[in-house]
Structure 1
Amino acid sequence: MTQDHSRSDGRIATRGNLLTPAYLWFVGQKKGSALALAAVLGAISNLAFPPFGIWPAMAIGLSGLIWLLDGALFEKRVRSAVFARVFSFGFVYFLIGLHWVASAFLVDPEAHLALVWLPLIVLPAGLSLILAVVMSIGFRFWSDGPGRLVTFTLALVLAEWIRGSLFGVGGLPWNLPGMVWEAGGAISQTASLWGIYGLSLLTVLALVSPAALADARPQGTTAMRAAPVLAAAIVFGGLWGWGSGRLAEGAAGVSGPLVRLVEVGVPQSWKYQPGVAEQMVRRFNDLTGPDDEAAADIVIWPEGALPYYLFEWPDALDAVTAGLGDRSLIVGLVRREGKNGDEPRAYNSLAVLNADSSMRGPLALYDKHMLVPFGEFTPFRSLAAAAGVSTLQNLAANGFHAGPLPVSVRAPGLPPFGPLVCYEAIFPGLSPAGTDRPAWLVNISNDSWFGGGAGPHQHASQARYRSIEEGLPMARVAAGGHTGMIDAFGRWTKRGEPADPVLYGEDPEGWRSSVVDAPIPSALGPTLYSRWRDSLFAGMWLSLLFARAFLLRARR
């Protein structure tokens, strides 16, 4: 039995099927109940991301949101209803997805607890505003058939690109929709073609296809309603097959030297307590070990390995470099540099040291380019100061200064590497490419700011996507996070394990140190993405836009 309602008289037109009751219930939600349901859908969608990885949750969340937007057509103020429903969805979606940021404000609660409203209110509200504004503009081209799925996809992915490129300094491309596919898995391999944004476009288009199973066309047949789902299944079946073949043909070979990844595992809030810095130096040296025949060629410590200016602490610098022997140490540190009597500028840096660096300085330096707003610098500093807002770190009173765009770091005895400090690893296309393409990537991070929840899992997953996009292996050392060696397909070849107390001594109480010894896996040739960056994604998005515009014009 079919139901035939006319949309022109303010009701809904749809043929009856198993999803019709659910669709009618969604469309019938008004005002407060619609906003509450949108918020629930935003929460459900987060189950698609690490550490859960339940990608159908995103399909439920986005398809349900489309049905709620169908219902907005029957509100007196349609655009306002669309904006409010999308904003409600987005606020909870981003609040849950980025809730771990608030942990950084609890490291020193006396100084920063009063500012916890920034990550819990301002951040999700700002990101939701971008999504709601773009979707409200796109809603002008809504329709009652599957074409609205394309409109929704175009608007959502555009909003994601905007917040990933323009929000703050450089954007915040955290948990893009393409991240629902496990890094290192078959479908994730397609990021080597069109990057995470291209994969996000295809992912959203596929995951909203169930919304077409119950739409508002009185003339639509069951087969017509099922067509988008079948098309999505065929396309992603093909992508899975291509990715599986790529993984099968590309076993992780070994081409580089042996690397030791070291993390002492001290909680962030303990690092500035009296005597802890000296204790950290000793523990790092214990875990680095002697320069004997079994020693690694390269040792890597995480971002901000020591909580002081290492180049201004001669005893510590001597202690760090004295036992290196013929090895090189890649270490995250903070440093200051002043010119012509000006106030010194502080930098969050990566340095390459050897046994002579206490006398001759570092072999190479990279100053972090993408700084974390409110973590490493304060946007609109004078205005923020008036409001009592300061940076979370306490080493640089005026915040860190950004370095230039990353280039390959070259030092004697090391394969050239692309540096990624902390959340620089979430930005696609930031790694050096072209004639400056490195042999591997090094990601050092301090994830101990963000507790043991979803944040470190998601950070590591995004770093693995950079290896897939670039076709390059990565050594990743994250304090309080996921440490290990990653091959050029985004797969872990070896992950951090608790340091053996027989070999390295017992950890101080409350510390959780780890050591990884792993050779650098082979690099692949330049990927399509490493050559063209987001050009292919832009072409895909524009092609979809032109196709949608053509069909809308044809209908008129």
Structure 2
Amino acid sequence: MDTGWSRPARLDLGGLAHRVALTAGWTRLVLAWLAGACGALAMPPFGLVPALALALVPAVWLLDGAATGASRTGRRLGTLLAAARIGWAWGFGYGVAGLWWLGAAFLVEADQFAYLLPLGVLGLPAVLGLFFGAGFAAARLVWSRGPARVLALAFGLSLSEWLRGHLFTGFPWNSLGMALGQNLWLMQAASWLGLYGLTVIAVALAAAPATLADAGEGRTRSAPSLGALAALALLAAAGYARVPAAATPDVPGVRLRLVQPAIPQDARFNPRNRDGILSRYLGLSDSAIGPEARGLADVTHLIWPESAFPFLIQRDPRALAEIVAALPPGTHLVTGAARADEPLPGERLRFYNAIMVIGPDGFVGSTYDKVHLVPFGEYLPAPVDEILRALGLKQFVAVPGGFTAGEPGGHLAVPGLPPVAPSICYEAIFPGAVASRRERPGLILNVTNDGWFGDTPGPRQHFAQARLRAVEEGLPLVRAANTGISAIVDPYGRIIGSLPLGTEAVLDGRLPESLGEATIFVRFGDVNFAVLLLMCLSAAVAARLVRLPRHGFGADVEKGTGSG
């Protein structure tokens, strides 16, 4: 009897995967772009880890069909080029959805930079997409018909992410491993594997559900997904066991105050605001934030963010005198500040984005100059800098000739603090590069100005990546940001205290101790990442050589065209 009700149709994953694999032309590229854009939801501030699966599962299916349409004479090359195009479109979508907020920087001085906005919002993701294209092509080179193709994708994408973080000065922003690098328990694996090791695991786990669409017995299809869930649970359990229930002990005698002035970016570098900005810093620094607080009298170390002044403090005795007068005996100021070196005969004045230490008696003498400068933000890259200047282009920061990079290595010596591993702005996003390996420091100090990007995902992504460095290194993180997020983080990644984005405030806190021993990542660097990468490559190559019986829909779409 017809009751008017019908059973809903069961989702036919095999049919869906088959249709995805058979797409071609612009349809294929648009689908790859949308899948990549979905993957950005796994990044901060959203942190939707399943979104990475929604991005990588279609990527597997699209790569399954990369050989369709390839001519018989150039099938291997045609297949690899098709895979590269799929990867580029996927990476382009991932970049646009994850980095659109870069456009805010072009609107700070809109009269000078707004016309370049498309280069930031679309141009950079398009360039970064080339890395993903290379990763997809490398995966397709060792592609097979069975579950091991998931490991082929983990190999190709993880290798390309490592290259993205190292080539052409490197830009590892939103590396895919950050999908696992936000949860307190899951991020603990970074102390063993680092960000790029997390990337291998994240890609393999997120791509595993693609095999649910394969032909064959249910247990065979579901084994990779069940294995991925088990691995994720094991990772979380290991992280839970690593994080102690008790709070991390504090370094005796250290009382920190982080100042977050929230100065608008369009006012920050205007010399006419000199007196107002300095008064704002000094007023906030000595504010009593509690009934029993005594302002700076309770503080041993005062931290100001990157480029705190619209002038060169080393060449402004009056400003320096005001700062020194405000510091109680025993209190030291650690501040971001531009500085200039006296030029040699015939050379221009060299400017540095620096961190300086100032005590009650003036400059202490310890200075750190930023090593990893932001291309186009702080300098125009050679050898095209002269050409770009001739076309009227200049870096965002209005410094004649741009900043000069400092010399790498060494710690910042601050009286009363353990050796400091300093970093300015996006230097904190580079795994393995925030601390010297020659002498173990006691903390990571990151001063930054994320005011360029307003209330967007950018500053939140920046903080999440800096936080992961604390776990990798086993060091506490002290972070002062102009507009936020300022925070104190212990060596397990636990946030001891923080200030919300966009607020004008100060944060008082103690300095957590570092871990007694260096982490596995500190001792071995990317060796464990390389081992994981080699394991994925070996499994993928072995599966390709074994020539397993055809049991995936990928085999169906390649019938008559070869395996590619």
- Most deviating of 143-152 and 454-463: 143-152
Aligned equivalents of 2:173 and 2:130: distance in 1?
16
Letter in 1 for 2:286: G
1:517 to 501, 504, 508: 508
Deviation at 1:115, TM superposition (A): 1.9
- Most deviating of 191-200 and 66-75: 66-75
Structure 2 counterparts to residues 78-477 of structure 1, below 5 A = 78-166=79-167, 168-169=168-169, 171-183=170-182, 185-215=184-214, 218=215, 220-249=216-245, 251-256=247-252, 257-273=254-270, 275-289=272-286, 294-325=297-328, 326-341=330-345, 342-357=347-362, 361-379=363-381, 380-394=384-398, 396-477=399-480
Letter in 1 for 2:539: A
Aligned equivalents of 2:338 and 2:521: distance in 1?
33
Aligned equivalents of 1:164 and 1:412: distance in 2?
34
Structure 2 counterparts to residues 533-548 of structure 1, below 5 A = 533-548=525-540
In 2, are the aligned partners of 1:366 and 1:406 still within 8 Å (CA)?
no
TM-score by length of structure 2 reads 0.88
Aligned equivalents of 1:96 and 1:181: distance in 2?
19
The reply on whether 1:532 has 2:524 as its aligned counterpart is yes
In 2, are the aligned partners of 1:464 and 1:490 still within 8 Å (CA)?
yes
- Report the equivalent of 2:39: 45
Question: In the superposition, relative to structure 1, how do residues 427 and 309 fare at CA in structure 2: closer, same or farther (>3 Å)?
Answer: same
TM-score by length of structure 1 reads 0.89
- Report the equivalent of 1:71: 65
Question: In the superposition, relative to structure 1, how do residues 430 and 282 fare at CA in structure 2: closer, same or farther (>3 Å)?
Answer: same
Deviation at 1:372, TM superposition (A): 0.3
In 1, are the aligned partners of 2:142 and 2:540 still within 8 Å (CA)?
no
Letter in 2 for 1:351: M
Question: In the superposition, relative to structure 1, how do residues 145 and 292 fare at CA in structure 2: closer, same or farther (>3 Å)?
Answer: closer
Aligned equivalents of 2:24 and 2:295: distance in 1?
71
Question: In the superposition, relative to structure 1, how do residues 134 and 47 fare at CA in structure 2: closer, same or farther (>3 Å)?
Answer: closer
In 1, are the aligned partners of 2:427 and 2:434 still within 8 Å (CA)?
no
Deviation at 1:301, TM superposition (A): 0.2
Deviation at 1:62, TM superposition (A): 0.7
Question: In the superposition, relative to structure 1, how do residues 197 and 293 fare at CA in structure 2: closer, same or farther (>3 Å)?
Answer: closer
- Report the equivalent of 1:33: 27
Aligned equivalents of 1:70 and 1:95: distance in 2?
25
Aligned equivalents of 1:135 and 1:497: distance in 2?
38
Letter in 2 for 1:50: P
Aligned equivalents of 2:138 and 2:419: distance in 1?
46
Aligned equivalents of 1:485 and 1:38: distance in 2?
39
Aligned equivalents of 1:491 and 1:140: distance in 2?
41
Query: What is the CA deviation profile of residues 285-304 of structure 1, one whole-angstrom value per residue up to 9, with x for unaligned ones?
Result: 11111887852100000001
Deviation at 1:339, TM superposition (A): 4.1
Question: In the superposition, relative to structure 1, how do residues 274 and 339 fare at CA in structure 2: closer, same or farther (>3 Å)?
Answer: closer
Query: What is the CA deviation profile of residues 372-420 of structure 1, one whole-angstrom value per residue up to 9, with x for unaligned ones?
Result: 00001111211222333210010x2211111122422113322211101
SS of the counterpart of 1:38? helix
Using the aligned pairs only, state the percent identity.
34
Deviation at 1:327, TM superposition (A): 0.5
- Report the equivalent of 1:8: none
Question: In the superposition, relative to structure 1, how do residues 406 and 56 fare at CA in structure 2: closer, same or farther (>3 Å)?
Answer: same
Q: Show structure 1 runs of 5+ residues with no match.
A: 1-15, 499-510
Deviation at 1:60, TM superposition (A): 0.7
Aligned equivalents of 2:500 and 2:331: distance in 1?
22
Aligned-CA RMSD value: 2.0
Matched residue count: 520
Letter in 1 for 2:374: V
Question: In the superposition, relative to structure 1, how do residues 432 and 84 fare at CA in structure 2: closer, same or farther (>3 Å)?
Answer: closer
Letter in 1 for 2:220: M
